[in-house]
């Protein structure tokens, strides 16, 4: 361990962390609510704990963009409500601190920037739809988490997680390892106890892969199950909002609070609302949830470990565990045209995303009450004019420039690309799951299995699978068809309870 990380870790362990009768760090949401009921803990205690942890670790990890100056007031209000109702409101996310990805809008004193200096000081007209739901549940908005600038959609040059506001985040297990993106800060913060739970977004892998790389759980919901209103989008056709947490249980607690119809995202949420089960998703947290489930193993091209014995051995061990828990494994399933699906040019995904991003960003910027920029063209010009402000290594704007170059003359090409993506999904994952009668597919979470899910708006859950020879975490992804969250939750929770792999961050150099 290097000198810097060693000093911070020592301070973290010996000085910063307070002594509570109740151990906060690995506590789940329901355990925290039980501690509230027993009066062993208050929401103020919880917020103060996370603020101390952020103060101790964020200089090293760069996971949090800013903390909410009103978080303690929100905590005090939650404590008073709990006292007034004799603890009856101690359920769900009431009084629980939530950290939001930096592209999810909040109508408060926090910035919503997608990590860009161009949006510092902008003012949103209202809370994002999912934030409205969190506030209705009396959750505490703790702050904004770091993320890859513009969700890694500005330049192909920038490393995973890099952001102009704050710099390069670090993987808390091996500081030199890839922390992944674009929901980098959310995953790091969940892993290192900088919040109870976090909320993030995904276009193509941005929940699934950082969860894998940082030893946490991520749920990418079915498209439209959660509102995207008030989120800085890349693609309304692919983007979704979901939780990143330390456990499947916590992620499900968050999911239950944020799903549902939103008039401001009507087209997506009205169709997906039919998938929400009566009684919510907590009922599917079953330790024996793997029993009878048919799981398809996507060997090619996702299990090519190139001689990495630990990963290969670990997954084979997990397959045995899945069978022991009653799952039926269907090995070596093949998805038609997988090589086309994984090629953003040949599939058409790249063109579609570029076109959709320009339209979505311009629409978002046009609604801001205050903003230094109003269109993608202005964002590009801002970067050129104020380059010196970043005072960090600068990266290009090749993706932005490509997106800006597209216009209505490209619309027929885009329609063909989107039609092709739908066809690839119908003849790919949908066909194989029907033919093999599968409840889910599985593959390593750090592979582009996420693209199969992304292009069709399908759900996926990442659960920790292990650590490699250097101590870097890696996950397993369970994916399914639209609306299959109940099955995926049963599978993921049962797997997690059977394995109990997670361990605290090591901060190795």
Structural contact between residues 335 and 452, judged by C-beta atoms closer than 8 angstroms: yes
335-374 CB burial, b ≥16 within 10 A, e <16: beebeebbebeebbbebbbbbbbbbbbbebbeebeebbbe
Residue 505, CA distances (Å) to 61, 218, 264, 472, 509 in order: 12, 17, 39, 10, 12
pLDDT of 8 above 70: no
Report strand pairing: 217-220 vs 460-467.
Answer: antiparallel
Does some domain include residue 152?
Answer: yes
Report strand pairing: 294-297 vs 473-479.
Answer: unpaired
In this prediction, residue 367 carries a pLDDT of 98
**H helices present in 106-180, as ranges:** 129-136
Catalytic residue among 5, 43, 101, 189: 101
Q: Whole-angstrom Cα distance, residue 439 to residue 43?
A: 39
Residue 43 annotated among the catalytic residues of the structure: no
Q: Whole-angstrom Cα distance, residue 371 to residue 91?
A: 38
pLDDT of 122 above 80: yes
Does some domain include residue 98?
Answer: yes
Which residue is it, tokens 């977004």? 201
Neighbours of 6 (CB within 10 A): 12
Coil, helix or strand at residue 508: strand
Catalytic residue among 5, 146, 148, 182: 182
Question: CA 340, 452, 438: angle at the middle one, nearest 5?
Answer: 120
Confidence tier at 392 by pLDDT (50, 70, 90): very low
What is the domain range of residue 128? 3-499
CATH number, residue 225: 3.90.1300.10
Does some domain include residue 406?
Answer: yes
In this prediction, residue 2 carries a pLDDT of 44
Mean pLDDT of 204-223: 98
Residue 182 annotated among the catalytic residues of the structure: yes
Does some domain include residue 505?
Answer: no
Does some domain include residue 24?
Answer: yes
pLDDT digits (tens, 9 = 90+) for 395-405: 889 999 999 99
pLDDT digits (tens, 9 = 90+) for 79-112: 999 999 988 898 999 999 999 999 999 999 999 9
pLDDT of 11 above 60: no
Q: How many domains does the chain have?
A: 1
For residue 277 the two structure tokens come to 């089960």
Coil, helix or strand at residue 366: helix
Confidence tier at 17 by pLDDT (50, 70, 90): very low
In this prediction, residue 249 carries a pLDDT of 98
> What values do phi and psi take at 466, rounded to 5?
165, -165
What mean pLDDT, rounded, does the chain reach? 94
In this prediction, residue 310 carries a pLDDT of 86
Name the residue among 184, 181, 205 with its Cα closest to residue 194: 184
In this prediction, residue 304 carries a pLDDT of 86
pLDDT of 268 above 90: yes
Does some domain include residue 507?
Answer: no
Residue 484 annotated among the catalytic residues of the structure: no
For residue 240 the two structure tokens come to 């979704």
Residues in the chain: 509
In this prediction, residue 93 carries a pLDDT of 98
pTM as predicted: 0.95
Does some domain include residue 509?
Answer: no
Mean pLDDT of 435-446: 98
Does some domain include residue 506?
Answer: no
Catalytic residue among 206, 211, 235, 425: 206
């Amino acid at each position: 361990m290097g000198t810097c990380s060693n000093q911070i870790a020592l301070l973290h362990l010996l000085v910063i962390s307070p002594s509570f009768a109740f151990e906060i760090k690995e506590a789940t949401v329901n355990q925290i609510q039980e501690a509230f009921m027993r009066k062993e803990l208050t929401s103020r205690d919880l917020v103060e704990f996370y603020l101390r942890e952020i103060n101790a670790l964020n200089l090293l990890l760069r996971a949090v963009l800013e903390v909410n100056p009103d978080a303690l007031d929100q905590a005090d209000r939650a404590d008073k409500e709990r006292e007034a109702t004799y603890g009856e409101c101690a359920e769900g996310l009431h009084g629980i601190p939530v950290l939001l990805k930096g592209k999810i809008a909040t109508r408060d004193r926090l910035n919503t920037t997608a990590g860009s200096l161009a949006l510092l000081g902008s003012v949103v007209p209202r809370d994002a739809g999912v934030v409205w739901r969190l506030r209705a549940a009396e959750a505490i908005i703790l702050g904004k988490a770091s993320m890859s600038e513009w969700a890694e959609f500005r330049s192909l040059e920038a490393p995973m997680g890099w952001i102009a506001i704050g710099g390069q985040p670090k993987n808390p297990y091996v500081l030199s390892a890839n922390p992944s993106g674009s929901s980098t800060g959310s995953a790091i913060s969940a892993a290192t106890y900088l919040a109870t739970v976090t909320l993030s977004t995904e276009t193509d892998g941005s929940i699934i892969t950082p969860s894998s790389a940082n030893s946490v759980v991520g749920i990418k919901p079915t498209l439209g199950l959660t509102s995207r209103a008030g989120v800085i989008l890349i693609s309304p056709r692919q983007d979704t909002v979901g939780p990143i947490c330390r456990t499947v249980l916590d992620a499900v607690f968050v999911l239950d609070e944020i799903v549902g119809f939103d008039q401001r995202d009507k087209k997506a949420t009205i169709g997906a609302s039919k998938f929400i089960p009566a009684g919510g998703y907590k009922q599917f947290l079953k330790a024996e949830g793997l029993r009878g489930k048919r799981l398809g193993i996507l060997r090619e091209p996702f299990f090519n470990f190139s001689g990495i014995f630990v990963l290969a051995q670990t997954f084979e061990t997990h397959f045995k565990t899945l069978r022991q828990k009653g799952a039926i494994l269907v090995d070596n399933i093949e998805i038609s045209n997988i090589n086309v699906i994984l090629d953003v040019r040949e599939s058409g995904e790249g063109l579609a995303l570029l076109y959709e991003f320009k339209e979505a960003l311009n629409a978002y910027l046009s609604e801001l009450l205050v903003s230094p920029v109003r269109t993608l063209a202005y964002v590009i010009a801002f970067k050129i004019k104020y380059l010196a402000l970043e005072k960090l290594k600068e990266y290009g704007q090749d993706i932005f420039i490509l997106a800006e170059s597209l216009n209505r003359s490209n619309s027929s090409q885009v329609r063909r690309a989107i039609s092709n993506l739908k066809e690839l999904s119908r003849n790919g994952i949908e066909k194989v799951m029907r033919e093999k009668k599968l409840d889910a597919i599985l593959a390593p979470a750090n592979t582009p299995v996420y693209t199969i899910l992304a292009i069709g708006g399908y759900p996926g859950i990442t659960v920790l699978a292990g650590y490699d020879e250097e101590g870097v975490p890696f996950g397993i992804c369970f994916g399914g068809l639209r609306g299959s969250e109940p099955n995926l939750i049963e599978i993921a929770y049962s797997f997690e309870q059977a394995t109990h792999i997670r361990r605290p961050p090591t901060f190795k150099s």
